[in-house]
Structure 1
Amino acid sequence: MTAADTRAVRLMHHDAAERPFIVIWEVTRACQLVCTHCRADAIRSRDPLELTTDEGHRLLDDLASFGPPRPLIVLTGGDPFERPDLADLVAHGTRLGLSMALSPSVTDRLTRSLLVDLRDAGAKAVSLSLDGACAQSHDSFRGVEGVFAATMDAARTVRDIGLRLQVNTTVTRGNVLELPRILKSVLELGAALWSVFFLIPTGRGKHLDPLTAAEEEEVLHWLHDSSTLVAIKTTEAPHYRRIAIQRAGVSDLDDVFAVGPLRSALRRDTAELLRGREPRPRRPRPPIDVNAGRGFAFVDHVGVVYPSGFLPTAVGSVREQSFPDIYRGSGLLQELRNPDAFGGRCGHCEFRTVCGGSRSHAYATTGDPLAEDPSCSYQPTEAGQVLPIRRTGRSAPATRTVRGRGTPS
């Protein structure tokens, strides 16, 4: 198989400057957990200034006004289950033709009966967080005892009532070696997608240790290896798309991309854990070309719009402007859609049009959302010419493999 006929990256079928692919709405900041990595610095009680039900309806009307293909909508928090009108919001979005998903915290509010109500209102999927491979590590991460066991039960309930299950995992230096055991749980739970978040030092996450760029590269290669077992996406690691393109058509991956000690340990533990019960290999799910402000947007609990929940630079408020006007007209969002203007390596990397680096990580570490992403170890080629990506069907095959001058891990 050559790079030319390998579908490595999916491209959006519409102009990212015209409409988003996915919108995350933080319907409330209230949450009963105290997660150590929390982006939102969640609070115990609902903010009286959060968007009302009527304002929520208007926001969903705005999002549906883009027309097909309408953006995917994820209701998150805090804990969206803190809102008593959640089923109403899901039903309203469903009536408008929006695909509605939920990202709740695992608390006493997450009950089978409420999940059934939300399914009947039109919800399609539920994502649950699993940040440790056992009760000790996961409960420590979440700040409340018993959450690990409750999460496993909730995941089984989600699947049992017919909702699509997504498992979210935030990776830090403290839990990276648990990833093979978390993968095993993801497989056993029958998750449709494993979404792996790479820590951004914002909110409470400032007090945790992120991976180094070299370590992140190793984990991304391991994740691509594991994508033959379950569909995998990454958050705040868009260079996963670069790795997918680089690996396309390469027959001897270990010869081209030397295996470092972290990836070696992850591979060894994965093989031991799955020995004798490996699921049937599947075709890897190509990552999609979406980034902060470019196909992606975030609306907070009071209606302020951001390029991403991890990039806290406001670009407007849905209480003052329509969402389409904000998305299309924001100066910052327009800048984020022009990777040629990015600083450092990101601005002249040949993969910049399908990666662009984590704008959130750039902002968190430099204060400039257009700066170079320090979480990527790749050294672009000297020419800096954009790698040609040819659109085919629902995916984009890499037309050639470019490795650059860096030392892949």
Structure 2
Amino acid sequence: MSAARRPAVVRRPRHPVGERPFIVIWEATRACPLACLHCRAEAQTARHPEELDGAAARRVMDQVAAFGRPSPLFVITGGDPFQRPDLIELVAYGTRLGLRVAVSPSGTPTLTRENLAAIREAGAVAVSLSLDGSTAERHDAFRGVPGVYEWTLEGWRAARELGLKVQVNTTVTRHSLDDLADVAAVVRREGALLWSGFLLVPTGRGERLDGLTPEETEDALHFLYDCGAVFATKTTEGHHFRRVALQRAVLDARGERPELGPLYARLSERAAELGLFEGERRAVRRPPMDVSSGRGFVFVSHTGEVHPSGFLPLSAGNVRESELMDLYRGSELFTALRDPSRLGGKCGRCEFRTVCGGSRSRAYGVSRDVLAADPYCAYRPGSFPYQEELRVLTESMRTQGTPSPYVQ
């Protein structure tokens, strides 16, 4: 098959990421009744007095729309966005501007069919929900409140029935490592547009959790890749998933398997016991999107601070005083993150640096150097044996029409 007709292994956004983001996430509030062990926002039960009010939130959406059509995906997150009484009004306003609006609610008593129907009626196209354990005991222990598992499943089913697309997020920590195959089985059973494995970043409450070893991370990423054969998968703060996709494409073409560790073996064995990979398989694997902190991605906090990611607590400025477009395009922080030649350590030496680049959030969380190497990466630069095949695949990555992450 010619390079021109070869299916994409990694997708790039349609527009240059230096000009406009692919996705904008707005933290509508930090109020949330849960006590999740990993919470980057260290959510509180009450709303912050300096939260962006409705008028300021509408100005943010105006600025997102100003990037042009097709507009960036606009995700309203929290905390729990349903803690804002004006959420429905804001979803409707963003929709009228032409934004594709998604909402990321918490699994609380507010996650009702009525609330989901209201955001759907207002124009929301999708929701993302968190599932951090395959059973109520495991998930509720991680979320800090009993009943969250059932609220999440009920909301998940209601959202699908209402026609909302559902993304399911799972935090990959030591707590969840050996449960990943069982979580995947729940995702396949219940049905979701996308399953995202979030590789823990040591920020907020997450600083108190045990991190993964690079080898465990590698095994988990390859297991997520395997799951992509039966339902769509992605990662959050696991940018080396794009490296894995490229490596596996080359190895698959040669009929070879990667050499992986004991965690991968355990997950694969458990997946076989569950019949996870049996039955219908996807006709086309969903390629990961080449988007990273500050490079196609921007986060606006509850008080208006503009960050490259919600997990990277460095601000380029505030939307109360500066235009989002100016901060995204021209701030030193964002432009540095879009320049792979500035990466340090092994990330800077790696042949995958332009398509992976490592998690800048995790690098900062561990070293306080936003351009340092990602401490969760096990890959040794230059060690992949089939560099010519890799070069052909990398060169075939081209700007092309790319759908929203919430659209098949």
Alignment of 1:68-79 (within 5 A): 68-79=69-80
Alignment of 1:100-119 (within 5 A): 100-119=101-120
1:134-168 residue CA offsets vs partner (Å, 9 max, x unmatched): 11110000000011111111110110111111111
Give the CA RMSD over aligned residues.
Answer: 2.2
- In 2 relative to 1, CA 179–323 (structure 1 residues): closer, same or farther, beyond 3 Å? same
Matched, 1:391 2:405: no
Aligned residues of 1:349 and 1:381 also touching (Cα < 8 A): yes
Deviation at 1:113, TM superposition (A): 1.1
Q: Indicate the residue corresponding to 1:349 in structure 2.
A: 350
Deviation at 1:280, TM superposition (A): 3.1
Alignment of 1:95-134 (within 5 A): 95-134=96-135
- CA distance in 2 between counterparts of 1:259 and 1:177 reads 15
1:243-278 residue CA offsets vs partner (Å, 9 max, x unmatched): 111111323788551132111111111111126963
* Residue type of the alignment partner of 2:140: D
Q: Indicate the residue corresponding to 2:298 in structure 1.
A: 297
Instruction: Give SS of 2:166's match.
Output: strand
- CA distance in 2 between counterparts of 1:382 and 1:176 reads 26
Structure 1 runs not aligned, ≥5 long: 397-409
- In 2 relative to 1, CA 355–323 (structure 1 residues): closer, same or farther, beyond 3 Å? same
- CA distance in 1 between counterparts of 2:263 and 2:231 reads 21
- CA distance in 2 between counterparts of 1:141 and 1:282 reads 35
- CA distance in 2 between counterparts of 1:182 and 1:344 reads 34
Alignment of 1:35-54 (within 5 A): 35-54=36-55
Deviation at 1:190, TM superposition (A): 1.0
- CA distance in 1 between counterparts of 2:399 and 2:316 reads 33
Structure 2 runs not aligned, ≥5 long: 403-408
Alignment of 1:257-336 (within 5 A): 257-274=258-275, 278-336=279-337
- In 2 relative to 1, CA 256–187 (structure 1 residues): closer, same or farther, beyond 3 Å? closer
- CA distance in 1 between counterparts of 2:303 and 2:211 reads 29
- In 2 relative to 1, CA 299–198 (structure 1 residues): closer, same or farther, beyond 3 Å? same
- CA distance in 2 between counterparts of 1:151 and 1:99 reads 23
Deviation at 1:393, TM superposition (A): 6.9
**What is the TM-score normalised by the length of structure 1?**
0.92
Aligned residues of 1:11 and 1:391 also touching (Cα < 8 A): yes
Instruction: Give SS of 1:24's match.
Output: strand
* Residue type of the alignment partner of 2:186: S
- CA distance in 2 between counterparts of 1:346 and 1:2 reads 31
* Residue type of the alignment partner of 2:290: D
Aligned residues of 1:36 and 1:204 also touching (Cα < 8 A): yes
Instruction: Give SS of 1:251's match.
Output: helix
* Residue type of the alignment partner of 2:300: V
- CA distance in 2 between counterparts of 1:179 and 1:275 reads 11
1:71-128 residue CA offsets vs partner (Å, 9 max, x unmatched): 1011000110100100111111101111000100011112111111110100000111
Alignment of 1:4-19 (within 5 A): 5-19=6-20
- CA distance in 2 between counterparts of 1:227 and 1:233 reads 8
Matched, 1:22 2:28: no
- In 2 relative to 1, CA 3–202 (structure 1 residues): closer, same or farther, beyond 3 Å? farther
Q: Indicate the residue corresponding to 2:405 in structure 1.
A: none
* Residue type of the alignment partner of 1:213: P
- CA distance in 2 between counterparts of 1:209 and 1:74 reads 29
Aligned residues of 2:15 and 2:399 also touching (Cα < 8 A): no
- CA distance in 2 between counterparts of 1:212 and 1:357 reads 15
1:175-230 residue CA offsets vs partner (Å, 9 max, x unmatched): 11111111111111110100110011111011111211111011111111110111
Instruction: Give SS of 1:278's match.
Output: coil
Report % sequence identity. Answer: 52
* Residue type of the alignment partner of 1:364: G
- CA distance in 2 between counterparts of 1:280 and 1:86 reads 38
1:10-44 residue CA offsets vs partner (Å, 9 max, x unmatched): 01111111110001100000000000000000011
- CA distance in 1 between counterparts of 2:277 and 2:378 reads 35
Instruction: Give SS of 1:200's match.
Output: coil
* Residue type of the alignment partner of 2:72: P
- CA distance in 1 between counterparts of 2:298 and 2:277 reads 42
- In 2 relative to 1, CA 187–161 (structure 1 residues): closer, same or farther, beyond 3 Å? same
- In 2 relative to 1, CA 329–2 (structure 1 residues): closer, same or farther, beyond 3 Å? same
Deviation at 1:381, TM superposition (A): 1.7
Aligned residues of 1:2 and 1:249 also touching (Cα < 8 A): no
- CA distance in 2 between counterparts of 1:175 and 1:275 reads 17
Alignment of 1:93-172 (within 5 A): 93-172=94-173
- CA distance in 1 between counterparts of 2:197 and 2:240 reads 13
- CA distance in 2 between counterparts of 1:180 and 1:252 reads 26
Matched, 1:235 2:236: yes
- In 2 relative to 1, CA 156–213 (structure 1 residues): closer, same or farther, beyond 3 Å? same
